[in-house]
Amino acid sequence: MGRGHEYERNGFEYQREEDVVIKKYRQRKFIIIAIGVSILCATVLGLAIGLSVEAEEDYSGAPHSVRVERASQILRNYPLVDGHNDLPWQFHVRNNNTVYGSINLTVGWPDVHTDIPRLREGQVGAQFWACFVHCNSQYKDSVRLALNQVDTIRKLVSRYSQDLEWVTTAQGIEDAFSAGKIGSMIGLEGGHMIGGSLGNLRSFYDLGIRYMTLTHSCNTPWADNWHKDDDGESYEFDGLSPFGELVVKEMNRLGMMVDLAHVAHRTMKDAIAVSRAPIIFSHSSAYEKCNHNRNVRNDVLPMVKNNRGLIMVTFVNNYINCSDYASLDNVADHIDYLKNQIGVDYVGIGGDYDGVTNLPVGLEDVSKYPDLFAELLRRGWSPADLEKLAGRNLVRVFREVEEVRDRLARENEAPFEDLIPQSTWKNSTWTEPCWTSS
């Protein structure tokens, strides 16, 4: 082959290589343009979707059925934690604390507000079951009766373990919800059940009690209850006694939430001032919307916010509308009012089902929570705020209470071992402790 042919061949190969380079460049240019167009389209589409979602989140004018469905989606995303349910008391008065008897909560119990099917329909994610005994047991057998009620609640959770799960921590609430269970906790509804003993308080914590209501409808020998606000003059301790302050501090040390439902106005203020952890009102509402002494007054609201505490709005007609009649709208009014006064981070839900007879129209039993959340959607509440109301606020408080407990443990704070003064212990054979030498 001659040199000319070789040149032509090399030239041809050079031209072919150049064509390949140009072709690759054009392909690369096309790809870059295509990617750019895709990004632009995606941005525009994303903006459109964002605007669409934003528009979709405005449910103020949506039909009730649409709002209920959206409320159900929200409650599927994070657990609704109700602060107070008295079903265990119904087992006491109706069934002599027999849980494994003829009553079967999986098929319903028509004479009460609570059973498994309705809890599921209402999308309850976690429940504080109330351990309650009457004030007339104080100075007598309140501790024994309270232990019976704790046993009833433990049996209840055990029998219905396919639906209920025993919980003692904030994380446990979320874990139970993830497992498809209703987290079950205990609140001790009345400080009279500790029998004036910090040792009994510690024992109840070990049994799973995670909040204690400082008083019920009677004074304890260390705190004034809400009835003392009726005349404003018959306070026995002007709120908390010095021993009552130690009860609050010991609850902080243990990691037990301090519940101020049922306490006197002055007791509320004293307890918030003394507590080193956030407090709760497990089932109380707004005094400004209904001037009942079971509710939280305006001068206490900023104290709750500063304490990072929580007011769990109850559904009791007399506390919601100051009459035997109330409606779901009235309950929503209380929730709205508290949100507007101190912010959405400090409001929760505490129905008080099976502890009362008169309940609002539209909230007749535990299946009705989605309807309440649908009403709040109509009023312009966002899904994020509704999750806070449902349970995020309570879990946040619970975690902060645990954090205070852990900090005090790191600081080696010892248990308080003070004894209640005999002068405040009434109608009993209580005597000073004695010791014998060996």
Which sequence positions are flagged as catalytic? 84, 86, 189, 216, 262, 283, 352
- Where do runs of H (alpha helix) occur along 164-291? 170-178, 198-206, 242-254, 265-274
| Dist CA 239 CA 267 (whole Å) | 4
- Where do runs of H (alpha helix) occur along 57-181? 64-77, 87-95, 116-121, 142-159, 170-178
| 97, burial (CB in 10 Å: exposed 0-12, middle 13-18, buried 19+) | middle
Nearest to 373 by CA among 75, 121, 53: 75
State the Rg of the chain over Cα. 30
| Dist CA 413 CA 429 (whole Å) | 32
Structure letter (DSSP) for residue 182: E
Largest alpha-carbon pair distance within the chain?
Answer: 129
Q: Are 433 and 419 in contact (CB under 8 A)?
A: yes
| 120, burial (CB in 10 Å: exposed 0-12, middle 13-18, buried 19+) | middle
Nearest to 258 by CA among 189, 314, 304, 211: 211
Structure tokens at 224: 């004034």
What kind and span of H or E run contains 81?
strand 80-85
3-state secondary structure of 127: strand
Structure letter (DSSP) for residue 433: -
